[in-house]
Structure 1
Amino acid sequence: VQVILESNTLITKSSQYDIISKWIGTGLLTSTTEKWFGRRKMITPTFHFNILKGYVDVFVKQGQIFVDQLEKHADTGREMDVFPFIKRCALDIICETAMGTSMDTQTGGNAEYVDAVKRLSEIVWNFQRFPWLWLKPIWYGCGMGFEFDRLVKMTNDFTRKVIAERRRQLEEDGLLEDDAPSTD
């Protein structure tokens, strides 16, 4: 088992990851070999138990919002799809713990961003399912490629804005050194 788990063979991703890389860049999910090892080494300490204990309040707060949202629909007697609620809760938790920014997507905030992420996920799913979309004339000819590019730009611009705002706040609070890397 150790030989398999330590093997570098499966770190190289298939070309089907290329579309995801255009959206989320080459982070831990999409990078390969040396870059993957470097990113993993960098991110591993953030999952230390003592670091995660600091996020319990965020988990509790966002979990309560999640439960409150579900309770609004519980008494209807009808079936409901909980997956959108789970996705928004996860997004709120990730943004608040990773970037210190409250997105409030569970209560309707940042709906445009949430809708864009949902649509991008659908487009990526279609791209994976229908190999003819891998041909650029078809990809752009049917409009899906243009929509993908527009949504990627919109979500990336939003992310840069959130990071810049957080950076500004940290600078105002004196918690960020002047020589910290830029978001560009």
Structure 2
Amino acid sequence: MTAEPNERRAPVFSLPQDQLLTLNVNDIPVLKDAAGPGISFQPLYLDPEVGLWTVMGIFAPGAELPAHLHTGAVHGYTLSGSWIYKEYPDQVQIAGSYLYEPASSFHTFYVPDTNTEETLVLFIVYGANVGFTDDGQFHSILDALTVQKLAEQWAQANDAGTIHYLKGGSAGYTNGA
């Protein structure tokens, strides 16, 4: 007897999965200016408990993030446009560039104002970005929970309903505890 595809079992313990967790970025609204002027995004996967977040960042020419320290590693893949870290002006990231940033990296994200198109970057971020002002004072934290709240605030302000993205687990007790 042959098992149906969803009835196959591995010879080890595994988590149950009754559906493929997938989405199409074309079905997620661009949260225009949700993270600041010229800084838009689409949330793809947010897990505040683990501290993992994946977003499609959409940046207008001239957009800049505060100087920030990463508490975890970051993977970035540039799909269109170009950008730099001000601290590394000779290493321009263009379409097709893949970037890995180890934890404790510190830099200032900037999109040249000479760009003629929006810059689109897929970011997979572990932990948080701890932002600082130009004089080195604490500015902000950007992490999975903050991105989740920014999406909720943007949706409410724009009568957009629920923004759909994949999400991580949820803390709680086992039954009877």
TM-score greater than 0.5 by the shorter chain: no
Structure 1 or 2: larger helix share? 1
TM-score (norm 1): 0.28
Q: TM-score, normalised by structure 2?
A: 0.28
Higher RCO (CA < 8 A, seq sep 6+): 2
